[in-house]
């Protein structure tokens, strides 16, 4: 079941290309009551989807002979645990380990320092205690200390199920892309890849500083540069690609770095990191 909350078209296409044929996506419509997209109303907006989730689940059960084992939700959909409880099935969710030791507030994302969004995050985390288990995309050998710290009985059982990677086949999205072709033309271990994730975006001054450092370094680079989400689209808005990245980069940067650097938008990160031309990763 898929909730279409301000989806990113490119990311949606990439996810769909990785989907096994035996998985069927059911896209739920947006409820008529979903008007306010502010942080403070994010929980109520999610709860408005609950009847749709319940109806879709009952419809699946009615037309299928398969046994319903349970729900798997991601962290932001914890309010739907109650739907699973109403149907009498176990459920499970995704989350990630948090900081074990105290960390300066200056290092936390802005979203956690906003009173409204912090309240939303706290509410979502409280729902985690209702889960029968928490699945994390990691593995024991990588984060044994964090996993042990979360296995003290104060939270539901934690199951490290990773690493979840697409290593068998290339995505249709990047199979014939100019990104991979450009990397094919570069020497082995010569390119620095810059990609800052779904929450990694910068203002114009920061972009110019990074660009200046890249130019002065003289190294080959591949930079996934995306613009911040539209603040008027609410907390679930996604980053988007620049129509013209030269507008935010230093004047003449693209001309001066032509041949040794490439600016892209959304990036197939796993495929790029696995390419022989990549010699460094900045994230």
pLDDT in tens, 231-256: 666 656 667 788 888 888 999 999 99
Radius of gyration of the chain from Cα atoms?
A: 21
Instruction: Please tell me whether residues 232 and 260 are part of one structural domain.
Output: yes
Catalytic residue among 8, 36, 55, 74: 74
In a domain, 77, yes or no: no
**C-alpha distances in Å from residue 135, one per residue of 4, 91, 95, 189:** 23, 11, 7, 34
Q: Who's near 283: CB < 8 A, 6+ residues apart?
A: 194, 195, 196, 197, 200
In a domain, 200, yes or no: yes
Dist CA 18 CA 228 (whole Å) = 26
Domain that holds residue 135: 93-160
Dist CA 74 CA 72 (whole Å) = 7
Is residue 74 among the annotated active site residues? yes
Buried b (16+ CB within 10 A) or exposed e, 122-148: eebeebbeebeebbbebeeeebeebbe
In a domain, 169, yes or no: no
Q: Who's near 257: CB < 8 A, 6+ residues apart?
A: 214, 215, 221
Provide the H-helix boundaries in 106-228. Answer: 115-128, 140-149, 178-184, 204-217
Dist CA 222 CA 194 (whole Å) = 6
In a domain, 123, yes or no: yes
Number of structural domains found in the chain: 3
Overall pTM > 0.75: no
Closest CA to 161 of 176, 185, 186, 143: 143
In a domain, 170, yes or no: no
Instruction: Please tell me whether residues 190 and 272 are part of one structural domain.
Output: yes
Q: What are the tens digits of pLDDT across the range 60-109?
A: 888 888 777 778 877 777 778 888 788 876 545 555 566 556 667 777 76
Last residue of a domain, one of 133, 160, 187: 160
Least confident of 139-153, 221-235, 248-262, 269-283: 221-235
Tokens of 215: 């130019």
């Amino acid at each position: 079941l898929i909730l279409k909350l301000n989806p990113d078209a490119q990311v949606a296409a990439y996810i769909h290309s990785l989907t096994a044929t035996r998985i069927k996506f059911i896209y739920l419509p947006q409820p008529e009551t979903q008007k306010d997209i502010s942080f403070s109303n994010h929980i109520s907006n999610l709860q408005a989807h609950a009847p749709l989730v319940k109806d879709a689940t009952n419809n699946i059960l009615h037309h299928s002979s398969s046994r319903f084992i349970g729900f798997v939700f991601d962290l932001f959909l914890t309010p739907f645990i109650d739907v699973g409880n109403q149907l009498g099935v176990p459920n499970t969710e995704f989350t990630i380990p948090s900081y074990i030791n105290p960390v300066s507030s200056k290092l936390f994302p802005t979203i956690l320092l906003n009173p409204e969004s912090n309240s939303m995050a706290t509410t979502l985390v409280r729902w985690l205690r209702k889960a029968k288990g928490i699945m994390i995309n990691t593995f024991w050998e990588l984060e044994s200390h964090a996993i042990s710290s979360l296995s003290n009985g104060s939270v539901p059982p934690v199951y490290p199920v990773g690493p979840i990677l697409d290593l068998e086949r290339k995505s249709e999205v990047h199979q014939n892309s100019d990104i991979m072709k450009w990397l094919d033309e570069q020497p082995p271990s010569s390119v620095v890849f810059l990609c800052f994730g779904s929450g990694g975006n910068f203002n114009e001054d920061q972009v110019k500083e990074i660009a200046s450092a890249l130019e002065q370094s003289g190294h080959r680079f591949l930079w996934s540069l995306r613009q911040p989400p539209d603040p008027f689209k609410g907390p679930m808005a996604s980053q988007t690609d620049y129509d013209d990245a030269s507008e935010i980069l230093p004047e003449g940067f693209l001309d001066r770095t032509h041949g040794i650097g490439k600016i892209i938008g959304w990036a197939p990160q796993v495929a790029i990191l696995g390419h022989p031309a990549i010699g460094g990763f900045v994230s």
